[in-house]
Structure 1
Amino acid sequence: MKHRFPTCAVLVAALAFGALPCVQAVEYTQVNEIASTISFTYKQFSSRVYGTFRKFEATLDFDTANPSAGRAALTIQLDSIDAGSSDANSELQKPAWFNTATYPVATFESTGVKVMGDNRYSITGKLTLRGITREVEVPVLLKAENAIGIFDGKLTLKRSDFKIGEGEWADGVVSDKINIRFRMVAPEQ
């Protein structure tokens, strides 16, 4: 009985001072695209409009022990857009908008990951839409639940930066700012 107390005290002290890891490092290398989502909101005539992309492919190589070496890539099939009506979906595929006949996909390729603390990261990368590439910074929160990592992120784009919604649509009927949210679900490896 006398030996248990010192052993427990040493263990508690080691945990308190960080000598023993409390959480094991986890790797995420596969994205469950069926459980994942990409959505967007914008304003049209001062009303908020919500939409999603139904088809995309994502790759991920993320280790919580070395997050700065993480990589992510995303390819979105632009003709899979659902903006709430078949008319809107058809309009958004036309040359003034996504021009899906010429530019069928949007892509994102990460170039760096910064650790922000509390399971928050800032992922920098190249986003390409309509043949135009811009560097973007995406804040991401990683939530671990039941051996699954959920990467929640959001960013705001200016559609004018990618020449989306030109011509008669450039007059402000549709907001220039488009809010994009994503939720990528990846099992622990």
Structure 2
Amino acid sequence: MTPNALTRSTLAVALALGLAGTAQAVEYGTLDTAASRVGFRYTQMGVTLDGQFKQFSAQLRFDPARPEAAAATVEVPLAGIDSGSPEGDDEVKAKTWFDTANHPVARFVSSSVKPLGDNRFEITGQLSIKGKTRPVSFPATFTPGAPSATFEGTLPLQRGDFAIGEGEWSGFDIVANKVDVIFHLVARPLAE
């Protein structure tokens, strides 16, 4: 091989590798709400139950090459709760539970994203429910894909920290204090 041919081959390989790396550098930020889910798991009288929120929105910015620059704000209109029964849905909207008339939205705002390895990250931020804001931290898994990627995880919380269940419901003998918010968010790349 001549020196010119060798130089051209080396340049071609370098460009191909450089372009391959660039092609994978994708910033995700458009939430596919139809494919995403936000649910919850709680224990009532010793029985584990699941519910979900019918509506939610998120503003995301996540570049897998720069996770420390990621940002997320997730909002959940609490009136869109599905606890598994219409009576239960009405009950949890009441003042003693979520008080949706005065506090219609739960909100999470991230403050940091720390890589844990193997596409796992520790997400830290502020969670606001029913007029109370608390710091939270939880693991999440990122699964890259084309044309979309997924973020999955569980955010554990103590309902007592947010006054969810007041008066006769403030004890944890019937409804446990621990609640897990389970999310599966599907995000598409930001439009260029």
TM-score by shorter chain over 0.5: yes
Secondary structure in structure 1 of the residue aligned to 2:153? strand
Verify: 1:75 aligned to 2:75, yes or no.
yes
1:182 equivalent in structure 2:
183
Q: Aligned letter for 1:123?
A: I
Report matched runs for 1:14-53 at 5 Å: 21=21, 24-53=24-53
- How far residue 80 of structure 1 moved from its aligned partner, in angstroms, is 0.2
What's the TM-score, normalizing by structure 1?
Answer: 0.87
Cα deviations by residue, 1:98-121 (Å, 9 ceiling, x for unpaired): 000110000011111101111111
For residues 72 and 56 of structure 2, what CA distance do their matches in structure 1 show? 13
What's the TM-score, normalizing by structure 2?
Answer: 0.86
1:55 equivalent in structure 2:
55
Secondary structure in structure 1 of the residue aligned to 2:89? helix
Cα deviations by residue, 1:108-150 (Å, 9 ceiling, x for unpaired): 1111110111111111111000110001012110112332110
Verify: 1:104 aligned to 2:109, yes or no.
no
Unmatched tracts of structure 1, length 5 or more: none
Unmatched tracts of structure 2, length 5 or more: none
Q: Aligned letter for 1:118?
A: D
1:114 equivalent in structure 2:
114
For residues 132 and 43 of structure 2, what CA distance do their matches in structure 1 show? 23
Out of 170-179 and 88-97, give the one that drifted further. Answer: 170-179
Q: Aligned letter for 2:84?
A: G
For residues 75 and 155 of structure 2, what CA distance do their matches in structure 1 show? 16
Secondary structure in structure 1 of the residue aligned to 2:62? strand
Cα deviations by residue, 1:30-68 (Å, 9 ceiling, x for unpaired): 111121100101110101111000111111011111110
Q: Aligned letter for 1:177?
A: K
For residues 124 and 45 of structure 2, what CA distance do their matches in structure 1 show? 32
Question: Number of matched residues?
Answer: 177
For residues 102 and 24 of structure 1, what CA distance do their matches in structure 2 show? 45
Identity %: 40
Report matched runs for 1:148-187 at 5 Å: 148-171=148-171, 172-187=173-188
Secondary structure in structure 2 of the residue aligned to 1:111? strand
Q: Is the 8 A contact 2:60 2:73 kept in 1?
A: yes
Tell me the C-alpha RMSD between the 2 structures.
Answer: 2.1
Q: Is the 8 A contact 2:138 2:156 kept in 1?
A: no
Any runs of at least 4 consecutive aligned residues in structure 1 with deviations exceeding 6 A, and if so which? Answer: none
- How far residue 170 of structure 1 moved from its aligned partner, in angstroms, is 2.0
